[in-house]
Amino acid sequence: MQKSDEELYRLMRKGNQDAFAQLYERREPALYRFALHMSGSPAVAEEVSHEVFVQLMGPGTRFDETRGSLESFLYGIARNLIRVFHRQGPVMEAVDRPYHHDILGELIGNETTAALHRTLRELPERYRDAIILCDLEERSYEDVARLIGCPVGTVRSRLHRARALLSAKLKRLNAPSEVFSR
Amino acid sequence: MTCSERTVELVECARRNGSNAGPGPELRAHLSLCPHCRDRWDRERQLTAEFRIMRMRTAALGAVASGSRDARRESLMRDFSRRRDLSVRPGRAAVPSWVWGLGAAAALLLALFLGHQAGKRPRETAAPAFRTHVPTQQTVVYEANYFLSNDASALSSDDFIAVPYTPPLAPGELVRMVHADLYPEALASLGVEVDPSWAGDVPVDVVVGEDGLPRAVRITDNGQF
């Protein structure tokens, strides 16, 4: 039977490296994607997803099971780190990475997607959280409510509001092509 | 049902079904009548399709980044084992915080107790060395105000020997000359050279300041010379 995050965390605090490795395998990919969507920068996403686990194993970790899940705690650390990076300004991306030229280049190549991505990053954090977790990570409203610590209704209304903002952006993006097509 | 109420259903439908499935019959009927909602429906579907593209590309990014991810994972595991080794090193075992608290409380109590004891002890003023060694009666033979000099060495005249390491007399300070019989050891402590052959008390005159400290001493009649 698979151990819960909290059980793995307890084992990890006792020095069990396998438990730490399992936690990393289980949670790092989603944290990386979350950080990537939030920041738009692969370098920041790598740094954040790494730093979350550095902080988790550090002596000053204040995770309290009675106050929420470990996953929620990890997302909280990631969110704070992204804010720190955001305050520090743009991050220099390593240019010699293959994905920087290929996949990200493709992403930017699609104008609509790139514009939507930019708009997503400019949304207020609470709306961005809702879009990223509900629509990009395809988590349920209940899951997201647990992760960000607010009622399910709030998550739903934030998501709808965020989609309305993005939808308006999409309308503006579609408008020129409609003009040309006439 | 108003358009804004329809929007909630419309968004949820677009999210659930993506671009492939259509809305239910009731919503479809409304969309055929309302251009505003139909426009929103199209955009919501487009949004869902864009999100699908973003998901796929992010997954691809994650897959390409897996090489650096492995390196980061290795680095984390090394860091973890290093920290674990540090925490189990002999002599550095983690001490529960309550032990530190208890220790600090005990130290505080001890300090309070010692402070209290020190407060209860009668304060001892610095007494002249000879007082503790004077077995015989002291007689005040002279009292005068000291005006001559601040330097106690001035008292060395008339065979007085200045007592070293004593504070100088203040001008106008009342000095008394006290006659006493002192042990040779007491005389030595007042800076007088004592012959080891001396035995018994030695009659002396001691100049004492207002603070009770001796400033100068003179051997008056020592039959042992």
Query: Along the 225 residues of chain B, how does pLDDT read in single tens digits?
Result: 778 778 888 888 888 865 456 677 888 888 888 888 888 888 888 888 888 888 888 877 777 777 788 888 888 999 888 887 766 555 555 667 788 888 899 999 999 888 887 776 555 444 444 443 444 455 666 666 665 554 545 555 567 888 888 888 777 778 888 888 888 888 888 888 877 777 778 888 888 888 888 888 888 875 555
Contacts of A54 in chain B (CB under 8 A): 76, 79
Judged by CB atoms closer than 8 Å, whether chains meet at A28 and B11 is answered as no
Contact predicate B177/B202, CB 8 Å: no
Contact predicate A31/A72, CB 8 Å: no
pLDDT of residue B132: 39
> How far, in Å, CA of A3 to CA of B29, rounded?
49
Using the Cβ of B54 and the Cβ atoms of chain A, whether some distance falls under 8 Å is answered with yes
Closest CA to A110 of B59, B52, B41, B14: B52
pLDDT of residue B87: 64
Contacts of A166 in chain B (CB under 8 A): 47
Contacts of B75 in chain A (CB under 8 A): 50
Q: What is the ipTM of this complex?
A: 0.79
> How far, in Å, CA of A25 to CA of B120, rounded?
67
Query: Tens digits of per-residue pLDDT, A58-73?
Result: 887 878 888 889 999 9
Kindly report the pTM of this predicted structure: 0.59
